Structure 1
Amino acid sequence: MKKHIILSAILLLAAALLYCSGDRQQVGQVTLEWWQFWTDPAIKPTIEKIAADYEAANPNVKINLTDLTWADGHEKIVIAFSSGTAPDIIELGSDWVAEFSSAGQLADITEDVIKDTANFLGWSAGIWKDRIYARPWILGTRILFINRDLLRKAGLGENYVPINWDQLKEVCYKIDSLGKDIYGFGSNAAEKHRLYKKFLPFFWAADGRIVSLDGKYSVFASDKAYRALKFYKELSDSCSMVDTQRRLEDAFLEGKIGVIISGDWLLKRIKNENIQLDFVTTLIPGPKYPGKSFAGGEYLAVSAGSANKTEAARFMEFITNKDNQLLFCKANYSTNPSSKAATTDTFFTSDVNLQTFVKQMNMSEMVPATPQWVYVEDIIERMLEDVLFNDAPVAESLYEANHKIKELIFKE
């Protein structure tokens, strides 16, 4: 009995010495590498605060931040995964997640986040083959901005908002008829990564789909797609200023365009530049109210090769909790947190324009989660350019694009 007591004491002493030695650093201390894109001076301090708050609550954790840029961030991520130097946590655009999850480069976080799925929006982009690989963070959608002064001049009343395609056409036509240098609608030019985002709301509102619900077929060419593209082309040809997104927004703010589709960055610009403009925001209409819009956003994922997956998942949960999403949205004037609870805060409920974005997000769709999306996007944009700017026939162009998508995604 005495020998057992002595042996137990020795073991306890050894454990205590190990805890107090340098090995404690190796066992207990965790350093998380986080690559992220929010580098603007207005929001970067908020990112740093979130990291610092987590460190304060978890003294054994150190967060190392690395900034990426949209100009070359994707390339750096690809290189990091290829070379085995990827960080623990990585911010990804919504249409990048499938690229990396399908390649086995992201950790499966399904069990870590399954409890949260009912409380957050935007999960579809983070799913690959029925497993979750990325947690939605800050989302974004597009809505209609309408110039109230031009509504009044067109005889429609300052509070008139279109709720279907026919009414949208009426608003745009009447404003366009006001005279020289006044346009009814702002239609995007052949601007990469933007043009398709303006067409897809009409496409989805008409119940069009790019791929079938089971993901087995390309169904881009349909009577629904034909109707949507004919309508969008009619707006573009008959009553629109056609230009880049930035120039369309400039013209809208100068009172030259009645209706444009834009995102929360335009609200931020109006606020930050103190632009005096009487405008109203509303949902993008469909053939029959309500319509749909395009949604995308920023996601957080854990690298499959991370040695700290559990802690990384905990930190991502912290980043995306209600309080931290509110902190982020208030600092950046962002309109669409993924946290449903965050949208109930007075920051959102007291601002009618933010409410428009919140409502629109609930009636928005994301592009299909496919590793080849960047190529699908290019097919759709080239088709749109041919139809809108080169008068290519609508039906034939849709059919050809559908064939290309089919060969790309579903080739044997």
Structure 2
Amino acid sequence: MLPTPTSPSRRLPGLSGRRPALVVAAVAAASALVLSGCSGGAGGGAGSDVDGPVDGTITVQTWSLTPTYTDYLDGVAAAFEEANPGTEVKLVDQPGDGYAEKVLSQASSGTLPDVINLPPDIALPLAKRGFLYDISQADDALDDTYVSGALDAYEYNGVDGVYGYPWYLNTDVNYWNAARMDACGLDSTAVPADTDELFTQAATMHEACPDDYLMSRKPGLSDFSLAGAQVVSDDGSEFVFADDDASADLIDRYAEAYQEGYLPPSVLTSEYLGNSTLFTQAKVAWTTGGASSLSDFVTNNPSLDGEVVVSPALDTPPLYVQGLSVSAKSKELATATAFAAFMTNEENQAAFGHIVNVFPSTTASASDPYFSEDDGTVDGKARALAFESLKTAENLSPVEANSAMTQFLDQQIALAMKGDVTAQEALDTAQQKMNQLLANG
């Protein structure tokens, strides 16, 4: 899918630019019921021989890509069929809403397509229960073909193997309302480069303009990672962020900023619209977004045209990944694996990246000037900055954390920021609950 995660703002599904956390609370509770007892263990047994002939019919499932990208998908399928006589590729596309539940249902009912568009978090429970094929068994050139961070996203703690071909990538860049900054004691030509500067400039802006805000979000798991805390144990069996003082220190810092008035009051209420929406409404002067976000901001608020500057993500850029996984139960395993590799090769990824504001995951794409060169526009600068950032981007939010877990953590952080509980109490409560959910499914 042209999905695009959100963390404060994660990007990748849905070509609109944002993918909300996809494994919703219902899935967190249902996955154990739907999938337990239905599999043959991590890695799974293949439905056919991966070394067999590349022929026969396969079904390939994408996520929220049609009708916008039907021509591209049809073209890739036709090229594969032409290169491999005797093959037939049937393309199906699922809508964005309820995709995780749909995939879990397909797995439990034995109707999982041969090739499935999956982000790492949805692929994880399937890989653990043997529904996905370990592609490292069939392809020894993975490390040379794909950038390491993207490939790492499909390698899971406690599960041997690689469970997805990286397809397309994204990351965050920063967007700043230059007019608001310059009017409130800041210099839009010297925007914050790290979290420390962000807090400093937020205080300066509040002092000059008490009713204006630079910051407008709570911290989350990715922020714990950026602060240097270990979020998940090495074997992926439990969350450990509450055991690190860096996590409590970070929440205390946000709590102080909130209580000093550096963040809008709505951040801790049900009326909070998200920092991207507040930025679009020109109510805050900073947000994060993908390389194509500026056009959305300006479309929804034309007054922002010419008033926005862009800079690299603070600290370590986040890495957002989409990929193609192969069903371990496929009756045409050789063909399914060959197609997934074909669709994610350099040529096809580059073509996709040129029509969609996402980035290819192949190492060979580093030399493509379309992605790397600033064309002088803000959009072009954002694209070049994002592409450069991918060289150092990291998977900051653990795939073990689904939205039920992060929602509970968010609630506890809100309590701490309001002063109802201490930061450590909030973290301990959240960690205990999240580990219960993790153990249950």
Question: Scaled by the length of structure 2, what TM-score is found?
Answer: 0.75
- SS, match of residue 87 in structure 1: coil
Query: Take 2:202 and 2:66, find their aligned partners in 1: how far apart are those partners?
Result: 36
Match of 1:213 in 2: 234
2:119 to 93, 96, 115: 93
The one-character-per-residue Cα deviations of 1:25-76 (angstroms, maximum 9, x if unpaired) are xx87421101111335443332232222222322322211111122122222
Match of 2:196 in 1: 166
Query: Take 2:356 and 2:54, find their aligned partners in 1: how far apart are those partners?
Result: 35
Match of 2:289 in 1: 262
Match of 1:115 in 2: 141
Match of 1:105 in 2: 131
Query: Take 1:88 and 1:402, find their aligned partners in 2: how far apart are those partners?
Result: 37
After the TM superposition, which residues 119-158 of structure 1 pair with which residues of structure 2 at under 5 Å, given as runs? 119-120=146-147, 121-128=149-156, 129-158=159-188
Query: Take 2:438 and 2:277, find their aligned partners in 1: how far apart are those partners?
Result: 38
In structure 2, do the counterparts of structure 1 residues 247 and 368 end up closer, same or farther at CA, with 3 Å as the change threshold? closer
Q: How many residue pairs align between the two structures?
A: 370
Report if aligned partners of 2:117, 2:323 keep a CA contact under 8 Å in 1. Answer: yes
- SS, match of residue 187 in structure 1: coil
Asked whether 1:341 is paired with 2:341, we answer no
Match of 1:51 in 2: 77
- Give the root-mean-square deviation of aligned CA atoms: 2.9
Query: Take 1:279 and 1:170, find their aligned partners in 2: how far apart are those partners?
Result: 20
Q: Larger strand proportion, structure 1 or 2?
A: 1
- SS, match of residue 64 in structure 2: coil
Q: Which amino acid aligns with 2:150?
A: G
Gaps of 5+ in 2: 1-52, 374-379
Report if aligned partners of 2:62, 2:117 keep a CA contact under 8 Å in 1. Answer: yes
1:203 to 224, 227, 233: 224
- SS, match of residue 184 in structure 1: coil
Report if aligned partners of 1:201, 1:292 keep a CA contact under 8 Å in 2. Answer: no
1:232 to 233, 254, 271: 254
Aligned-pair distance for 1:137? 1.2
Asked whether 1:69 is paired with 2:95, we answer yes
Question: Scaled by the length of structure 1, what TM-score is found?
Answer: 0.79
> Once superposed, which parts of structure 1, at least 4 consecutive aligned residues long, lie more than 6 Å away?
271-274
- SS, match of residue 136 in structure 1: strand
The one-character-per-residue Cα deviations of 1:128-182 (angstroms, maximum 9, x if unpaired) are 4231111221223333211222333334333212223331112223334453653
After superposing the two structures, state which structure 1 stretch, 61-70 or 71-80, moved more.
Answer: 71-80
Match of 2:421 in 1: 392
Match of 1:184 in 2: 214
Match of 1:314 in 2: 338
Gaps of 5+ in 1: 1-26, 189-197, 286-290
1:377 to 398, 406, 428: 406
Aligned-pair distance for 1:321? 1.6
Match of 2:430 in 1: 401
% same residue = 23
Report if aligned partners of 1:55, 1:63 keep a CA contact under 8 Å in 2. Answer: yes
